[in-house]
A and B are shown apart, each in its own frame.
Chain A
Amino acid sequence: MAKEIKKLESVTVRFAGDSGDGMQLTGARFGDTTALSGKDIATLPDYPSEIRAPAGTTSGVSGFQLNFSSQAIDSPGDQVDVLVAMNPAAVKVNIKDLKKNAIIIVNQDAFDVKNLKLAGYEKNPLEDDSLSAFKVIPVPVTTLTKNALEDSGLSPKEIVRCKNFFALGLMFWLYSESLIPTIKWLEEKFEKQPEIKEANIKVLKAGYNFGDNTRLFTERYKIEPAKLEPGVYRNVSGNEATALGCVTASLLSNTPLFLGSYPITPASEILQYLSKYKNYGVITFQAEDEIAGITSAIGAAFGGSLAVTTTSGPGLALKTEAIGLAVMTELPLVIIDVQRGGPSTGLPTKTEDSDLLQAVYGRNGEAPVVVLCASSPKDCFYMTIEAFRIAVKYMTPVILLTDGYIANGSEPFKIPNVDDLPKIEVKFLEEGREFYPYMRNANLARPWVKPGTPGLEHRIGGLEKSHIFGNVSYDSENHDFMCKLRAEKVASVQKDIPDLEVLYEQEGKLLVLGWGGTYGAIYHAVEKARKVGMKVSQAHLNFINPFPSNLGNVLSKFKKILIPEVNLGQLARIIRSEYLIKPIQFNKVRGLPLKSFEIQSKILEILSEENNDNQK
């Protein structure tokens, strides 16, 4: 039955079900397909920290949200247009995030007494009017999957496991997307299990055909390809982009990469990716603990490797003392912190941007380090390279902050031409008549000497060293001098980083200042506010320590500064202390990225107050 195809600009869908239902995989396949057909996309996986939380309960619900659009987008969307819910718990958990009139496609078969009870429903929501604000489309997904695989020879358990591909096939039909990329993917993935491969392909097609034949849908949709810059694209998650950034920095600097790391959510993937790249000269050392992760990297940096350690908040806390050692020994080292909900173990699988103060200040002594952050999945690639560039140029540890949201989220990444990327200059000192380990060049960097270089034997360590000569020194004047020198060195990186760019008016009533993973949400909030006539500008920080040199000037050009953060005001605190201004804060720590409509209402609130004040 041919149905009308309606064109849409952008859609936010969410796949939700039990953590065993394969929702992450389903979401990722849908994302890849829409990206391949040229849409701009942004994704947001959201899953419980238990690997298989109790089935059917609300705590076991795993979700994957995806925004795809014919316009350039930077956020996975605030509110959901279409929810695919594999059980009652998935409806219960996600209903609060749905737009009015949103479509809910439910697996009707899962709405039995047991599952309703597990989800905490007293009555079946499909049978009363509790979902009347939405367009509910009940589909017997399990039954239809079983029917399709009647003669497959698979066990009943294996058959039921294929049901996510039915839902996926139906969604591909609904949004006029091709099945081919998924079929190809299944062919590769299950090359060695042909029955499973065939079954999934069959179910995928059954889902698609169901859409065509059923009367449940009166229309289907199409999103035109986005007008992205010309080039070759792929989809990357933040963690993948970070790993690629590490390998790229290694090849751009012609220096072998050493990663010392201990598995921790949500950073482990970087270690997993890099473990594969052995033919790129990458050495990965899965250490016995977080401290060995960083100290082995410090040992490798002393040996002349491009050294990196990856972690998340609790791990960064454990690495604190060793970061001080890297400050004292002035060795290049990159520390990547994929932030998550804290304190303590906190919310391991949920995002938060609350390690900023830890990164900037959290060490004993006067221990300045460079702190950078990435603002989107693809940005992780470039900021990782930047972190290494600064580390080797200034002989300093650099902390790069990403977060669970951009680490797990993905977006199209325009693949750069490697020859166009600037080389990272690494120079080892190989000879010198007058050599002292703490001599300095114009960047205040001390020489990097590889053990094994004849004649340049020297000793460094965590004790204070005398200026230039590098002998252990307890001299009070020397210590005062060295502390100031290390601070000056890190501060001087400012001359080497780009100015902060302001989007829209360069001065005015309100600037929204952000950092890290909040970029997309802020961008959309500001854009929407401007569409309804509000005068508001945006600036986003990638460099926290040091700040861009024009930041003070930018801040002085606006009457009010709004800082939205996924913490209780950590950047706001630094801005207040550095520039003696009082920014307006907007803080939410729900384990989720900020929603742009909330930021937008905050903008509205501030600007209307402003107007009222002016009228008085």
Chain B
Amino acid sequence: MTTKSEIKQKEIKQLTYQDFVPENEVKWCPGCGDYSILAQVQRVLPELGIEKEKFVCVSGIGCSSRFPYYMNTYGFHGIHGRAAAIATGLKVSRPELSIWVATGDGDMMSIGGNHFIHACRKNIDLNILLFNNRIYGLTKGQYSPTSRKGMVTKTSPYGVVDHPFKPIALAIGSGATFVARTIDREPKHMQEMIKKAGAHKGLSFVEIYQNCVIFNDGEFNHLTDKNTRDDNLLVLEHKKPMLFGKEKDKGIKLVDFKPIVIDLNKKENSIDDVLIHDETDEIPMRAMMLACMAEDSNLPTPIGVFRRVYKSTYDGDVHLQLQEVNKKYGKGDLQKLLTSGNTWEIK
């Protein structure tokens, strides 16, 4: 039996990767992690079963925000920090569009912070891809709100004194209903995350660790280097125990509300002690705990879906209300509206 959505997918011309590649030249630095993100998005979008003309890429300012120019879809390159607000206006007025916001740690976590938290809070059905390279690339190497404390950059020659944002925690705390993390060097994983983000109804936020070869090269080496990757990366899988290590012999256990690493080769530890990941948990506590793990050098950095819950969307509710008011009062008659209130006639 074919389902309705399958029939719909058949009607839509089967799109390919090539459909999303525009003629113009991509101008990121050679070796930049952005290339991988672009390629994965171009691979995933054809599989979402949405007509090509319904995709819109919206961005702000920064290296990441050149993204719309490199996608052969409708695109809007906005101003610094405002991508989420521009996308909100577009989505609320045109809910049938599939909107992808490409942004960076400076664009969305600094100047655009306010729009980001409110888009999350309202659960606007947008897909936000945060290219997090922990540095300002386009302005040539100043520290960003996600730069690590102590990082030496052009504007922090003696080390960054700020405490960085945890974008995942910020998204969860602001009410985002889909929150995930992936890495530029994990193409398959990234495709999976983008696909899930695209399928989620509501605000989807994907933080992508992205290497800036020019100004912050090697920032994520410990997570991408063959020799260290497995000991540092915890790949979250829904309903599966949180295991990592080459042999999957290390696990995360909760002791006194704190995550600790246990070695499953030791007799006193058992697989039953290991936390099971549940991305659909309504209570955000565990997702929040996972969001804070990357900061702790004793713990692995989680990637995968942190949180995926259902909440009505702002854009959906706005249109629902429009319909309800229409039903209640009937379609508005302009002449009646103009003539409402106390009127009098002069003959």
Contact = CB atoms under 8 A, between A and B. Distances in A.
Interface of A: 32, 35-38, 181, 225, 228-235, 244, 247-248, 251, 256, 258, 260, 277-281, 283, 285, 287-289, 291-292, 295-305, 307, 321-322, 324-325, 329, 415-418, 450-463, 471-472
A167 B125 CA distance: 54
23 contacts: A32-B342, A35-B344, A247-B334, A258-B92, A278-B322, A280-B332, A291-B85, A292-B85, A296-B86, A300-B89, A302-B86, A303-B93, A322-B82, A329-B76, A415-B338, A418-B335, A451-B56, A452-B97, A454-B53, A457-B53, A459-B69, A461-B77, A462-B61
Given A278-B322, A299-B76, A471-B24, A457 B52 contact: yes
Contacts of B59: 461
B118 A278 contact: no
Contacts of B74: 451-452, 457-459
Given A289-B114, A415-B338, A461-B68, A277 B88 contact: no
A283 B78 contact: no
A298 B94 contact: no
Contacts, number: 202
Nearest to B87: A299
B118 A277 contact: no
A325 to B, nearest CB: 5
Interface stretch (B179-187, B285-293, B323-331): B323-331
Nearest to A450: B94
Given A291-B85, A300-B93, A461-B69, 4 more contacts: A32-B342, A231-B345, A232-B345, A283-B322
B5 to A, nearest CB: 19
B219 interface: no
Nearest to A419: B335
B92 A283 contact: yes
Interface of B: 24, 51-54, 56-59, 61, 68-69, 71-79, 82, 85-94, 96-97, 114-115, 118, 318, 321-322, 325-326, 328-332, 334-335, 337-347
Nearest to A449: B74
Nearest to A458: B74
Given A279-B325, A451-B54, A292 B331 contact: no
A459 B75 contact: yes
Contacts of A38: 344, 346
A235 to B, nearest CB: 7
A48 B85 CA distance: 34
B334 A292 contact: no
Nearest to A329: B76
Contacts of B52: 454, 457
B77 A234 contact: no
Contacts of B82: 291-292, 295, 322
A460 B56 CA distance: 11
A461 B94 CA distance: 19
A417 B339 CA distance: 10
A144 B23 CA distance: 83
A322 B83 CA distance: 12
Nearest to A257: B93
A429 to B, nearest CB: 13
A296 B88 contact: yes
B77 A463 contact: yes
B334 to A, nearest CB: 5
Contacts of A283: 92-93, 318, 322
B17 to A, nearest CB: 16
A36 B344 CA distance: 6
A287 B90 contact: no
Given A277-B337, A299-B85, A471-B24, A233 B345 contact: yes
Contacts of B68: 459, 461
B89 A36 contact: no
Nearest to B67: A459
Residue among B75, B86, B330, B347 facing the most chain A CB atoms (10 A cut-off): B86
B337 A457 contact: no
A299 B337 contact: no
A279 B329 contact: yes
A295 B76 contact: no
Contacts of A296: 85-86, 88-89, 92
A415 B53 contact: no
B76 A285 contact: no
A416 B86 CA distance: 35
B334 A248 contact: yes
B338 A305 contact: no
| 4 A-B pairs with the lowest CB-CB distances in the bound complex, closest first | A461-B77, A299-B89, A296-B89, A459-B75
B284 to A, nearest CB: 22
A245 to B, nearest CB: 10
A460 B77 contact: yes
Contacts of A416: 338
Given A451-B56, A457-B74, A472-B69, A181 B345 contact: no
Nearest to B86: A299
Contact of B77 (A181, A301, A303, A459): A459
B267 to A, nearest CB: 55
B343 A415 contact: yes
A233 B89 contact: no
A457 B23 CA distance: 12
Contacts of B115: 288, 291-292, 295
Contacts of A298: 78, 86, 89
Contact of A451 (B97, B318, B325): B97
Given A38-B346, A232-B339, A453-B53, A460 B79 contact: no
Contacts of A32: 342
A181 B73 CA distance: 59
Contacts of B69: 459, 461, 472
A240 B53 CA distance: 39
B94 A451 contact: yes
A53 B84 CA distance: 39
A244 B345 CA distance: 20
Given A234-B343, A452-B53, A459-B75, A292 B97 contact: no
A453 B97 CA distance: 11
Nearest to B345: A232
Nearest to B318: A283
Contacts of A302: 76, 86, 90
Contacts of B330: 279
B94 A325 contact: no
A458 B55 CA distance: 11
A292 to B, nearest CB: 4
Nearest to B322: A278
Contacts of A304: 93-94
A415 B78 contact: no
A76 to B, nearest CB: 19
B76 A277 contact: no
Contacts of B89: 258, 260, 285, 295-301, 303, 307
